[in-house]
Amino acid sequence: MIEGWRWYGGYDRISLSEIAQTGAASIVTALHEIPYGHVWPRQTIADTRMQILAAGFDWTVVESLPVHEAIKRGEGGLEELFANYRQSMANLAAEGVKVICYNFMPLLDWTRTDLTAPVGRGGSCLRFSITKMAAFDVFMVDRPGAEEDYSAEDIATARCWLDKASPADREELTAAIMAGLPGAYDRYDAAGLRAALAAYRGFDRTTLRMNHKRFLEEVVPTAEELGLKLAVHPDDPPRNLLGLPRIVSNAEDIGWLLSAVESPANGLTLCAGSLGANPENDVPAIARQFSGKIHFAHLRNVAKEPDGSFEEAPHLAGDTDIPAVIEVLLAEEAARRRQGRADASIVFRPDHGHELLDDAGRGTHPGYPLVGRLRGLAELRGVIAGLTHAGAAA
């Protein structure tokens, strides 16, 4: 397995020289400054690649090449957007990129309600509170029909939280929910989000699935020609949000998607944390079921609560059996090597670490601190070494 590290380029408070000290070998990044739907110029990709190579890393995984909202909604003439996406793929392939991670979550990317929830022995973590989400959705955004998506108890606790919340608390909640959006585009306040949601009124799961299938039909043949792998990222959190459907949340969703367009290029980013936030998901079992289509992996952990809330846990201490997941990935790599495949090794990265020690106040991207991820990488590295040694001894 290849140790990766997500880097936000010019937006990142962590330098490549600091990342080099973590021991990671591969940078996972994107051109976050380019608006959605525009072509990624080959020269800009080449400049980024040279910067990464000069720092001693390789760059084979892009996270993410964003899918424009119009494609997700399936509205209007989309030929130019599809053509731009294919051209960006060609430019990336020409500069040595092998895997493109993307998601098909409508409007919002990963979503949390707290960016600095306290951790028992110090530090902070990302958290998703169903109480705060209901307060935001039902009362602050005032989305029509929002009450139907929450229990009476959820709504009552949300009302209680809102009654006690200061204007600063409300602003902090809105900022947290918006923080998952990458790059520098399309941040909303509550009123702006209400207007953006109106474009999705009447939008359902079946429609989103059909639009996702059309996207794959448009880009998978190009991926095959270029030798690229597409790796869809699961929904985060794996539940409908703000009335918007989510369609990559469990094994059934993944199975449908990977069979919608049959191709080795149509694959999965195995995100143990996103899938682990759904209490019905057995993450090691999902990894085994789709191991042949896993092109990239995010290894992190969550601790779930009965009401649907969850928070980021230490990488080896949450609800998901991460060593079991890693065991599946190592077995898949071994199977690929036996087949003589050049792409046998899977890039993984430690995801969403706690803010620890000097991370506090540094202003890194939420969930992407230096020390917290370094701790996670060290723990994952130890598991991989132990399992590899045990396999060799056997």
The per-residue pLDDT for range 125-154, each reduced to its tens digit, is 999 999 999 999 999 999 999 999 999 999
pTM here? Answer: 0.96
Query: Which range, of 156-170, 172-186, 197-211, 333-347, averages the lowest pLDDT?
Result: 172-186
Residue 44: how many CA atoms within 13 Å on its side-chain side? 13
Q: Calculate mean pLDDT across residues 333-338.
A: 97
Cis previous bond, 166, omega within 30 = no
β pairing state of 310-313 and 124-128? antiparallel
**pLDDT, tens digit (0-9, with 9 covering 90-100), for 364-394:** 999 999 999 999 999 999 999 999 998 876 5
Task: Please choose, from the candidates 221, 207, 307, 209, the residue with its C-alpha nearest in 3D space to the C-alpha of residue 262.
Answer: 221
Sheet containing strand 114-118, edge to edge, reads 114-118, 124-128, 310-313, 301-304
Q: Which fold has domain 2-110+199-393?
A: TIM Barrel (3.20.20)
Q: Measure the CA–CA gap between 105 and 248, rounded to whole angstroms.
A: 8
What 3-state class would DSSP assign to 355?
Answer: strand
pLDDT level of residue 309 (50, 70, 90 thresholds): very high
Catalytic pick among 298, 315, 354, 359: 298
Rounded to the nearest 10 degrees, how much is the dihedral formed by the CA atoms of 193, 136, 168, 309?
A: -130
Is 233 catalytic? The answer is: yes
Asked if the model's pLDDT at residue 77 lies above 80, the reply is yes
Is 160 catalytic? The answer is: no
Catalytic pick among 137, 154, 253, 271: 271
Asked if the model's pLDDT at residue 226 lies above 50, the reply is yes
Asked if the model's pLDDT at residue 190 lies above 90, the reply is no
Catalytic pick among 85, 150, 188, 368: 368
From residue 123, give the alpha-carbon distance in Å to each of 212, 360, 371: 39, 8, 11
What phi and psi, each to the nearest 5 degrees, are found at residue 360? -60, 130
Is 368 catalytic? The answer is: yes
pLDDT level of residue 40 (50, 70, 90 thresholds): very high
**Residue type at 344 in one-letter notation:** A
Q: Measure the CA–CA gap between 20 and 12, rounded to whole angstroms.
A: 14
Do 55 and 20 form a contact (C-beta atoms < 8 A)? yes
Is 85 catalytic? The answer is: no
Q: Measure the CA–CA gap between 171 and 51, rounded to whole angstroms.
A: 37
In terms of phi and psi (left: phi > 0; alpha: psi -120 to 50; beta: otherwise), the region of 166 is beta
Is 271 catalytic? The answer is: yes
Catalytic pick among 125, 351, 354, 359: 351
Query: Which range, of 25-29, 239-243, 295-299, 346-350, averages the lowest pLDDT?
Result: 239-243
DSSP letter at 149?
G
Is 315 catalytic? The answer is: no
Catalytic pick among 68, 233, 315, 354: 233
pLDDT for 346 equals: 98
Domain edges within the chain: 2-110+199-393, 114-190
Catalytic pick among 212, 295, 352, 354: 352
Do 82 and 218 form a contact (C-beta atoms < 8 A)? yes
Mean pLDDT of the chain: 95
